[in-house]
Amino acid sequence: MDSKPLYEPFSPELLADPYPIYKKLRDEAPVSYHPKLDFWTLSRFADVMQALQKPRLYSSAQGIAVGMDTQMTNVFDAVITMDPPRHTQMRTLVNRAFTPRRIAELAPRVLEVATALIDDFIEKGSCDLVGDFAAPFPTIVIAELLGVPTEDQKMFKEKSNALVNQQRLPDEVPDPARMAPILELVQYLNKVFDERRKQPREDLISALLAAEVDGQKLTQSEVTGFALLLLIAGNETTTNLLGNGFQLMHEHPDQRARLAAAPAALPDAIEEFLRYESPVPGLARTLTEDVDYRGHAFRSGQKVMLLYGSANRDERQFEAPDVFDTSRKPTQHLAFGFGTHFCLGASLARLEARIGFEQVLAHMPEYTLLEGAERNAGGIRGFAQLPTAFKAGAGATE
Ligand code: HEM
């Protein structure tokens, strides 16, 4: 049978609205195969979860994308594409910097960054909630944690966008120009490393350069991979959590009014934003053994796509999953993954989101999204721009 696969990773329909496709997959082909690209797709919560609980069978070491140019995925020599035991050793090096307690200490500075950005546009009565706020906000925070000069954050955002939006099928003609921004970013980071080697500071880059695993310093490519991963994973995802939240609240003004009046409800609402519109719709693993899975012959070396965004809308797991309800009591969702590779930055993302939403709702509670909202071109679910109008000067900080 030569029917079209239900899950076509780069199709415009999927990028525009993946949820009807996800539902069809869950109902009709929960374990589905893509013959051309030779990978399986799991779309139900329970199936995705069992894979995340078996990191040795479902390996991350050969990349976590399907059909993506390997030249791109090789840029990351970092935890997200490592298996235990190396993964455990490397992750231990940075875990301490990201514990909920350490992250909570950042709150005053995160608040300063958020209010400074809002102050820059509040008198105008209009802004791009992504370009002027959701994008620069987490970039500044992570750049400061790493110890990269904040003046360069615009450049980081452009380069990290270039990397994240690099999705192309393996048989497309390679274009070396697309690698250029990433190579420039690597060169730039190498300069920062040289400076920190000479004069270490209290930042993550200095800590990574000094760190040892079994008496061995990390290689240059490991330090670069880690710094790049933190920059990119820390920016793109949080930007899109914020953008999705702004759009969802605009579409549900009653829920927005409730949150503006009672910001203490924001942490639960953020879990609903993450569940309902997961910024990372799915990531892949590679099978390390032949195995029969629910009657399907999975072969060693094949990729398996784990659709977090679909698992989070699975009616077998969540009641009325297509209803957006910020008063829902949060339950386990997979927007941050699960198990070995559970998002290192989850506490930071939650802190940034809480402060970001709180400040926007305090300063411009009745914002209106204008024509011209633009979805991301790549695989991260969210918006590239959200032109917005609001009452100028309302609640500007003194
Ligand atoms: C809303 C924001 C975020 C979302 C939705 C998100 C999502 C995810 C997901 C789904 C994974 C699992 C990867 C996998 O299953 O292979 C992950 C891992 C990771 N995230 Fe996040 N992330 C967010 C924010 C952040 C931030 C702020 C940082 C950095 C400071 C960060 C750093 C990482 C790292 C380093 C990993 C790899 C962990 C490992 O492999 O052990 N993330 N993230």
Q: Give the domain CATH number at 129.
A: 1.10.630.10
* Residue 235 CA, ligand 1 centroid: distance in Å: 10
Going from the Cα of 200 to the center of ligand 1, the distance in angstroms, rounded, reads: 27
pLDDT digits (tens, 9 = 90+) for 336-360: 999 999 999 999 999 999 999 999 9
Single pTM value for the model: 0.93
In a domain, 398, yes or no: no
Alpha carbons within 13 A on the beta-carbon side of 28 = 9
Is residue 187, in this structure, part of any structural domain at all? yes
Cα(125) to centroid(ligand 1), Å: 34
H-helix or E-strand spanning residue 237:
helix 220-251
For residue 33, pLDDT beyond 80 = yes
Domain contains 112: yes
Q: Does residue 4 belong to any structural domain of this protein?
A: no
**Predicted confidence (pLDDT) per residue in 157-186, tens digit:** 677 666 656 544 444 445 666 677 778 888
User: In this structure, how many other beta carbons lie within 10 angstroms of the beta carbon of residue 385?
Assistant: 18
- CA pair distance 69, 56, nearest whole angstrom: 24
pLDDT in tens, 49-92: 999 999 999 999 998 988 765 544 555 578 999 999 999 999 99
* Phi and psi angles of residue 268, each rounded to the nearest 5 degrees, phi first: -70, -40
Q: Within 6 Å (CB) of ligand 1, which residues are found?
A: 60, 64, 79-80, 91, 142, 229-230, 233-234, 237-238, 241, 279-280, 283, 308, 335-337, 341, 343-345, 348-349
- Is beta strand 126-128 parallel, antiparallel or unpaired with respect to 387-389? antiparallel
Count of domains for the chain: 1
Report if residue 123 sits inside a domain. yes
Contacting residues for 112 by C-beta, under 8 A, at least 6 apart: none
Place of tokens 């999975």: 298
Residue 150: band (very low, low, confident or very high) from pLDDT cuts 50, 70, 90 = confident
Distance CA 15, CA 375 (A): 8
Look at the alpha carbons of 354, 80, 230, 309 in this order and tell me if their dihedral is positive or negative. Answer: negative
**Quick one: 369 exposed, middle or buried, by C-beta within 10 A (0-12, 13-18, 19+)?**
middle
Substitution site in 87, 90, 266, 336 for ligand 1 pocket (most atoms within 8 Å of beta carbon): 336
Residue nearest to atom 20 of ligand 1 (CA): 343
Structural domain range at position 152 = 12-389
How far is it, in rounded angstroms, from Cα 152 to Cα 157?
A: 9
Q: Is residue 5 part of a domain?
A: no
Alpha-carbon dihedral 99, 105, 108, 113, rounded to 10 degrees = -40
Asked, for residue 289, whether it belongs to a domain, the answer is yes
| Percent of the chain as helix, strand, coil, to the nearest 5 | 50, 10, 40
Q: pLDDT tens digit string along 218-246? A: 888 889 888 888 888 888 899 999 999 99
Burial class (CB in 10 A: 0-12, 13-18, 19+), 347: middle
